[in-house]
Homo-oligomer: A and B are copies of this chain.
Amino acid sequence: MPVEIERKFLVVDDTWRWEVSRHRAMQQGYLGAPGGKASIRVRLEGKRALLNVKAAVMGAVRAEYEYEIPLEEGREMFDNLCIGRLEKTRHYIDRDGLTWEVDEFHGDNDGLVVAEVELIDPQQEIPRPAWLGREVTEEPKYYNHSLSLKPFRSWHAH
């Protein structure tokens, strides 16, 4: 079973920007209402569209399936069939043999920055960059699906 092992952190300042090697604009939307056992996402990134199915469970290890689909079909689904949408810029930082993905959210999630790292083993040690803040892997409100429905700017206290 393909699984994604991922840990997610806040950042304490902007110094991560100095380490970015590349970045990519992403739009993503969610098909299907929340409350099921899976989150179904359409992502548009540049000339690619991806349809992704991820187990709606909490924590670092989640079953994940991803398929590239025709861009035009991805756009139509994003525009017409999604009930939650968000936009972000994903910044890539290669460091200590790992790739950090720092997501800078836009629109209603403006102000939120989350750093993710994909791992091979959930027990794997992670050298912590100085800009790394509190871990939020187990906090559902930071899940992208959740952010698409209850965006950062609507939170009362954060």
Within 8 A of B (CB), among A77-94: 77, 80-83
Chain A residue total in the interface (Cβ 8 A) = 27
Q: How many copies does the complex hold?
A: 2
Q: Which residue of B lies closest to A70 (CB)?
A: B65
Judge if A126 is at the interface, Cβ distance under 8 Å: no
Interface stretch of the complex, out of A33-41, A99-107, A109-117, A150-158 = A33-41
CB within 8 A of A36: which of B37, B69, B73, B83? B83
Besides the contacts A31-B38, A33-B35, A53-B77, what 20 more A-B pairs have beta carbons closer than 8 Å? Answer: A31-B32, A31-B37, A31-B40, A31-B53, A32-B33, A33-B34, A35-B35, A37-B81, A37-B83, A38-B81, A38-B82, A40-B40, A51-B67, A55-B80, A63-B80, A65-B69, A65-B73, A65-B76, A67-B67, A67-B69
